[in-house]
Amino acid sequence: MIQTENLTYQYKKGTAIFSFPNITLEKGENLLILGASGIGKTTLLHLLAGLLKPVTGKIYINEVALNSLKNNKLDTFRGENIGLVFQKKHAIQSLNVFDNLKARLLFSNALVTDKKIEIVLAQLGLSELKRNKVSELSEGQLQRLGIALSVIHNPQVILADEPTSSLDDKNCKIVIKLLKNQAKQTNANLIVITHDHRIKACFQNSITL
């Protein structure tokens, strides 16, 4: 579960201060965050992932306050509890599909067998491609690999940043469906931020910044 209180963020002194509405999600609940470009969507996502530190306010993930974690502890917490999905680039170029998933697990203590990796790859239709280089994958395949990478370690929270903005209508629906399925399987919170109104119908919970 996720809880935020009075989050604000400022990039540099003298620039605009972003302030964000409080969010409370129970275990397994999903949330869509809509907003125009430049409104601070990605900033909020990075705050939730612990990649940025808020100026004021608190973030709790499974009752752990992110502010209280320092450096390496925060890195490890992120590696174990959070899965990130990006817009276009998803994986490490020099590794193949399977090794990317292994590398995803390298820095967390999650116990995931090779068999589990195979299952996730099969669910996302990537079994045939597991020995392929990342550069050989199409955009849709890459997006699915991105999903696999964000869920393989059974995270508490899946954070997706514009996961559908470069996809056509058909793939857009598939990706959202896959994300929701994977989140459901691990009983994780799924938070999607986007300016893509096509997916609004897919979520019960949504807020607009």
Contacting positions for another protein (CB under 8 A):
42-43, 46, 49, 51-52, 71-72, 75-80, 82, 84, 86-95, 99, 102-108, 161
Using DSSP's 3-state secondary structure scheme, residue 57 falls into strand
> Smallest distance from the beta carbon of 98 to another protein, in angstroms?
9
Q: How many Å apart are CA 115 and CA 29, to the nearest integer?
A: 28
- Of the candidates 186, 184, 125, which has an alpha carbon nearest to the alpha carbon of residue 202? 184
**Which residue type, as a one-letter code, is found at position 94?**
S
> Smallest distance from the beta carbon of 148 to another protein, in angstroms?
13
Nearer to another protein, 139 or 177 (CB): 139
Nearer to another protein, 102 or 202 (CB): 102
Extract the tokens encoding 115.
């068999």
> Smallest distance from the beta carbon of 1 to another protein, in angstroms?
21
Nearer to another protein, 29 or 99 (CB): 99
Q: How many Å apart are CA 52 and CA 151, to the nearest integer?
A: 22
The single-letter DSSP state of residue 16 is: P
Nearer to another protein, 104 or 144 (CB): 104
